[in-house]
């Protein structure tokens, strides 16, 4: 687990003071991009509240309370995580049953809902009851990378803590100092701002292979080569078996188009693919072709989430891109 102090310096000390002063709110929204340590901080906060051996305001991470929180086996620290596309009323109902289980009166309980933007309106409304009738000692934390998708009623009743993303160049420098080569670090830092996640990407041999195949496709698209259509099946599909691999493949293609647009307009920004000749060649197309291409990749990413197969979504995309 990445150290929360490294991810968000200052936040632990800020909350330490708030807790010492007895000013902890009942509801928080941790808002910030993926990889900024929101869930880790929720875990830190729970440990800070339960730890039996605080050291200078920091939880020890070793006592029975900390251990149970770290392994997510603590009865009074309950997580609602869902891999589903949405968090439904039933999920919230289960959580509320957990909430109302009678512990000792006024005892501390912590509830964390991650990716709260996925709460359906019904689920969010069901959660509002807690906000309206808070129980002493209860703390609820919602984490989200898309705060603007939360209901205003939810937003207005919680205290919002912003988790800023570190500058991309800083993420790249961290990865390079950890032994990742510059080219891979640049691509990885465009996909996640978490050093550990970026490191894991760079160490996955299929990541480099996928970049290579996506750039091969870009080369064909830049040249207007009809072979691009076949490359989807021969080059991309074998490396895009799981949903995360499929999402990553389209994300890499989106980065190539974004790089090409920036290059076309001579925008001074750190590119994902450095000065790759294939992306440079794509940048020679018209701005209209490039922005329509980027929009088409984003549309394909949405279709992929709607149960269209990767191969058919990507083949249709390549036909569109080839027309540009």
Residues in touch with Zn ion (CB under 5 A): 51, 53, 59-60, 63, 66
Closer to Zn ion by CB, 44 or 207: give it.
44
Closer to Zn ion by CB, 63 or 196: give it.
63
Closer to Zn ion by CB, 47 or 250: give it.
47
Q: How far is the CB of 78 from Zn ion (least distance, A)?
A: 19
**Selection from 121, 88, 95 nearest residue 110 by Cα:** 95
Closer to Zn ion by CB, 19 or 63: give it.
63
Q: How far is the CB of 71 from Zn ion (least distance, A)?
A: 13
Q: How far is the CB of 119 from Zn ion (least distance, A)?
A: 31
Closer to Zn ion by CB, 48 or 190: give it.
48
- In whole angstroms, what is the distance from residue 122 CA to residue 52 CA? 39
- In whole angstroms, what is the distance from residue 75 CA to residue 111 CA? 11
Q: How far is the CB of 51 from Zn ion (least distance, A)?
A: 3
Look up residue 58 and give its two tokens: 């920091």
Q: How far is the CB of 196 from Zn ion (least distance, A)?
A: 22
- In whole angstroms, what is the distance from residue 290 CA to residue 48 CA? 50
Closer to Zn ion by CB, 51 or 211: give it.
51
Look up residue 295 and give its two tokens: 């929009």
Look up residue 110 and give its two tokens: 């912590």
Radius of gyration of the chain (CA): 23
- In whole angstroms, what is the distance from residue 309 CA to residue 253 CA? 17
- In whole angstroms, what is the distance from residue 1 CA to residue 6 CA? 11
Question: How many CA atoms, within 13 angstroms, populate the side-chain half-sphere of residue 127?
Answer: 30
Q: How far is the CB of 170 from Zn ion (least distance, A)?
A: 31
């Amino acid at each position: 687990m990445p150290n929360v102090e490294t991810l968000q310096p200052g936040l632990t000390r800020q909350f330490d003071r708030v807790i010492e002063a007895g000013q902890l709110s009942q509801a928080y929204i941790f808002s910030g991009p993926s990889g900024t340590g929101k869930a880790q901080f929720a875990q830190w906060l729970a440990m800070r509240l339960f730890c039996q051996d605080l050291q200078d305001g920091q939880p020890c991470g070793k006592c029975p309370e900390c251990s149970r929180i770290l392994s997510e086996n603590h009865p009074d620290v309950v997580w609602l995580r869902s891999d589903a596309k949405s968090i439904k009323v039933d999920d919230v109902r289960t959580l509320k049953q957990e909430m109302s289980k009678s512990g000792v009166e006024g005892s501390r309980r912590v509830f964390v809902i991650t990716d709260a933007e996925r709460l359906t309106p019904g689920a969010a409304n069901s959660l509002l009851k807690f906000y309206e009738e808070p129980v002493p000692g209860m703390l609820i934390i919602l984490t989200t990378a898309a705060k603007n998708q939360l209901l205003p009623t939810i937003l207005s009743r919680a205290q919002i803590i912003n988790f800023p993303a570190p500058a991309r160049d800083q993420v790249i420098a961290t990865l390079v100092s950890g032994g990742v080569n510059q080219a891979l670090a640049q691509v990885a830092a465009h996909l996640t701002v978490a050093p550990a996640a970026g490191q894991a990407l760079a160490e996955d041999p299929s990541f480099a292979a996928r970049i290579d195949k996506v750039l091969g496709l870009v080369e064909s698209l830049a040249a207007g080569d009809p072979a691009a259509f076949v490359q989807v099946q021969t080059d991309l599909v074998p490396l895009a078996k799981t949903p995360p691999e499929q999402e990553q493949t389209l994300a890499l293609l989106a980065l190539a188009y974004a790089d090409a647009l920036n290059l076309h307009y001579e925008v001074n920004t750190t590119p994902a693919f450095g000065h790759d000749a294939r992306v440079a060649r794509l940048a020679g197309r018209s701005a209209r072709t490039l922005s329509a291409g980027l929009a088409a990749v984003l549309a394909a990413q949405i279709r992929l989430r709607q149960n269209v197969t990767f191969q058919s979504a990507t083949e249709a995309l390549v036909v569109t891109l080839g027309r540009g």
